[in-house]
Structure 1
């Protein structure tokens, strides 16, 4: 019975007509959106519809048309910074630069009257797809910090990025974690992001 069932499915599959699969056209972000509205049409045209499935924005950063968009719209990063892997003494930040350069991360304690600056840096290159992961080490447990980023041209991305380290093992602290996913970035409709942000979760 089991063998006959397998044969049935195999024969059914081989007899099915072959059709190419196509996906729906992506829904564009509104053109007046300050984050990706100005650059998204370029990404759709040059990368998404490119026959090279391994293509990346790192292969196009020299394009004068893209450089003009970056300059005109004051784009300092193609992505990030995104915070993750936060421990009691460290945190990692992912970001994508607009060109090959050295990226510097500076960390200061948020509520200190005389904060010291911890500095970390690495290089964004075409080889690593203009993406980097910077790891801040030597932090204090369950302490609020401010992270700022810069490249060879000056500040990169949003300033004053606040985060809190995790409690140390055995340290009793009250914190919250938010869960979610799958929401598309569409500012007029995605009020959920503000709802989550207003609750100031320790992790998401």
Structure 2
């Protein structure tokens, strides 16, 4: 372990320069007391995980003791959050919620709130429009201690900010806020944040999370490598990593105030570059992994195989693909090996039937991996299916499609030119954890808009859709943890329309 004394000097100089350049961060910067490397995070020992929890300041002693005690219990096989010893550790340390609140599945009438109560005691969620006295009440009656619960908060006004509290016997357990989505038929502005590669490290960064909150997005898309690191088929330790997420003060602030939409990548799934059902793993283990994932996130429901889904926020269709668990390992390079037929057909059906002006399609790994020659992405797995998707979008004149991706630590933008003269645009912000990665720029830069290396870059992407304007457009911004807008690119609806070229 290292206590990086030089970091303080570097960070002080950085903040001073940012202040002199009038960047927009308003929250006081918090300096880390520990600097954990990606390699150390992947190891994920008790010492490393505890340092991660305390990396931006020591958490309260009861939280630390609860986490350490629970982590030792999770070292055994087949332990979940309903385990009596886990529940007892929570109650002994006055932890009333093992996890949550975690917002998700935002609509124009409300939101779904995920939480994991430590007991079966009744909870009440009080929701109130900002500036109004009227309250809406929703009741949670857990049937099993430690089991996750989802509560649909509904009957609210569209595109309106609400504050909420979670109480039990008049004791406040948690609170937060959210803004409902605009109605689908309206053309109100929608703002979506996105990024990947927290890698357990960035989950605890209050500077980055405070900046995201200050930008007030309707929602945030997390594209993988988020909370679990290289636990393979040790499902109990997957849950331990989710607990580390859920006791983090910075993460709790993000999840309680911004609806999150999530997909996984290799480190969440099994281990580096693993996908599908590789050797020494089984189909049953993949099924268990999917179940553990679904138990710990708050995505819209999908009855199909895999964890992909679509939803809509105002005039924006969100489409998140499962580019990790649906692959067919022994057919790499063959048609259908990346998404499998069911997901590929589903994607085309969603695109064809969407009435939203804009469609965001996320891929855990890059669509146009010029950086590492398609090492673990579309570039070598399934070129034919990717071409089929692009052809389908052009042939059916599906307008407003934006591609976003992650995995390759850093931040980059690409143009994917087509023979028709049309161009797809891909934005990658794999920099939530600030960890090292490959080169910022491809060897051939003719189709690259920008590039930043991952080491030290703690930044997220943001898409602001202005469909209400006569000249409808979307603006991409890359924003670092101090609020500096590092990149800004505006694309008109016409530029994203195949027949508009």
Alignment of 1:46-195 (within 5 A): 46-47=73-74, 49-50=75-76, 52-60=77-85, 63=88, 66-70=90-94, 75-112=95-132, 115-126=133-144, 129-152=146-169, 154-157=171-174, 159=175, 161-183=176-198, 184=200, 191-195=207-211
Alignment counterpart, residue 29 of structure 1, candidates 50, 53, 63: 50
Deviations along 1:167-191, whole A, 9 cap, x unmatched? 0122222231100233115677564
Q: Is the 1:109–1:116 contact (alpha carbons within 8 Å) kept by the matching residues of 2?
A: yes
Alignment counterpart, residue 196 of structure 1, candidates 184, 204, 212: 212
Q: Secondary structure at the match of 2:93?
A: helix
Distance 2:201 2:100 in 1: 14
- Comparing 30-39 with 173-182, greater Cα deviation is found at 30-39
Q: Secondary structure at the match of 2:49?
A: coil
Task: Give the TM-score taking structure 2 as reference length.
Answer: 0.31
**1:131 and 1:58, CA in 2 relative to 1: closer, same or farther beyond 3 A?**
farther
> Larger relative CO (CA 8 A, sep 6+): 1 or 2?
1
Distance 1:66 1:91 in 2: 27
- Comparing 142-151 with 23-32, greater Cα deviation is found at 23-32
Distance 2:167 2:204 in 1: 30
Q: Which runs of 5+ in 2 are unaligned?
A: 1-41, 221-501
Question: Hey, what does 2:226 align to over in structure 1?
Answer: none
Deviations along 1:63-97, whole A, 9 cap, x unmatched? 3x543322xxxx33111101111100121100111
Decide which structure has greater helix share: 2
Q: Is the 1:59–1:126 contact (alpha carbons within 8 Å) kept by the matching residues of 2?
A: no
Distance 1:28 1:44 in 2: 10
Shift, 1:39, TM fit: 2.1
Shift, 1:103, TM fit: 1.6
Q: Secondary structure at the match of 2:99?
A: strand
Alignment of 1:11-30 (within 5 A): 24-26=43-45, 27-30=48-51
**1:152 and 1:125, CA in 2 relative to 1: closer, same or farther beyond 3 A?**
farther
Number of aligned positions between the proteins: 170
Distance 1:153 1:130 in 2: 22
Q: Secondary structure at the match of 2:68?
A: helix
Q: Secondary structure at the match of 1:94?
A: strand
RMSD of the alignment, in Å?
2.6
**1:198 and 1:77, CA in 2 relative to 1: closer, same or farther beyond 3 A?**
same
Q: Is the 1:111–1:144 contact (alpha carbons within 8 Å) kept by the matching residues of 2?
A: no
Q: Secondary structure at the match of 1:96?
A: strand
Shift, 1:25, TM fit: 4.0
Question: Hey, what does 1:14 align to over in structure 2?
Answer: none
Shift, 1:54, TM fit: 3.8
Q: Secondary structure at the match of 1:178?
A: strand
Q: Secondary structure at the match of 1:60?
A: helix
Distance 1:97 1:44 in 2: 18
Q: Is the 2:179–2:218 contact (alpha carbons within 8 Å) kept by the matching residues of 1?
A: yes
